[in-house]
Amino acid sequence: MIKFENVTKAYPDGTVAVDGLNLEAPTGKLTILVGPSGCGKTTSLRMINRLIEPTSGTIYLDDQPTSGMDAALLRRRIGYVIQHAGLFPHRTIVDNVATMPVLLGESRQKARMKALELIERVGLPASFAKRYPWQLSGGQQQRVGVARALASDPAFMLMDEPFSAVDPVVRSQLQDEFLRLQREIGKTIIMVTHDIDEALKLGDQVAVMRVGGKLAQMASPSELLTSPADEFVADFVGRDRGYRSLGFTTAAGTVTVHEEAVVQLGASAAEAQAKSAGAWVLVIDGNRKPLGWAQPELVTGEVRREHLNLSGTSASSTGTMRQLLDAALSSPSRRGVVVNEYSELVGTVTASDVVKAIEAEPHLETAR
């Protein structure tokens, strides 16, 4: 647990960065600090490991006030991940990750063995161990930064906009990988981000802060979307919060899934025409994995990949209402593709199927 008790940070010029902050980050959970520029997010984070000293109030790690701890020893108890990874450019990846265990007294051999395990655990191949940071992409460097923060097996982790310096596709991949990792390791984490979508995707709880360092609301992502505390929180979360809240409601067993006629890649134009429902037919591979939609009238000879429309997304049969609705709305046929855990076709849904389920059960189970 990390706890703020009436914590304030004021500067000599009268600027108040954080004002009477009361906040608790539960053990084993991910708490996100989010808010506009100047709201004290990063200041709050850095007060935890005393890179910035609070003016007043107390911060606790598992009921122990940090003010009474040696600052260097305190920082060794806390993993710290920053925006640009902060890797040592003259050290190999394995030696970057092994840095903290060596400082804590582990043998270099043992520290390197642990580092190699962590490199693979964050989704990098072992062959990267002997590379240098400049030989890795930005996203790969961020993975190394996470591995290095985990190397000393800290109970607590602080993350300051760790995924903001990479492109949107890599960022989404890093977020998914981090969620997987957190499910395995269950650390007590506080993360700062300026991106409300990232906060809603990753956080077990989200703290929305106002300019001047005041807490506006602390809530689960679902509650933040459905019950914002005031106009400021509602505006910050965004105007499409009703649609986004569907991302926290499970759809399993509540939405009708229809059987869909399909053809395999390589099927004849005549077969595609015979199987099509309306203007479109769904094309699958030999393992029943959906590949895309084709218009039989545009096919000459056999159905090939260049005939496929790839605009539609797919949704898991155990996914959320938002995923199912997006699959239906993004499909050129307006029939959303539903797959199982092996990416095999289960069937299709329409937007009206999803809306009927929402209307029938307004209090759906929260997904996580």
Per-domain boundaries in the chain? 2-238, 262-360
The pLDDT value given to residue 362: 55
Nearest residue to 7 via CA among 28, 17, 22: 22
Crossing angle of the two packed helices 321-330 and 351-360, in degrees rounded to 10: 150
Burial 207-223 (b: 16+ CB within 10 A, else e): bbbbeebebbbbbbbbb
pTM of the model as a whole: 0.78
The pLDDT value given to residue 361: 66
The pLDDT value given to residue 181: 86
H or E element in which residue 173 lies: helix 168-185
Backbone angles phi, psi at 275, to 5 degrees: -85, -15
CATH superfamily name and code, 262-360? CBS-domain (3.10.580.10)
Query: Cα torsion for 24, 243, 236, 189, to the nearest 10°?
Result: 30
| Helix residue ranges, H only, 186-217 | 196-202
> Identity (one letter) of the amino acid at 224?
L
Show pLDDT as tens, one digit a residue, over the chain (368 residues): 999 999 999 999 989 999 999 999 999 999 999 999 889 999 999 999 999 999 999 999 998 999 999 998 898 889 888 877 788 899 999 999 998 888 888 898 999 998 998 898 888 899 999 999 999 988 888 889 888 888 888 889 999 988 877 788 778 888 888 888 888 889 999 999 988 889 998 999 999 999 989 999 999 998 998 899 999 999 998 878 888 888 888 877 789 999 999 999 999 999 999 988 789 999 999 999 999 999 999 988 999 999 999 999 999 988 889 999 999 999 999 999 999 999 999 999 999 999 998 888 655 444 44
The pLDDT value given to residue 31: 97
CB atoms within 10 A of CB 238: 13
Highest CATH level, class, for 2-238:
alpha beta
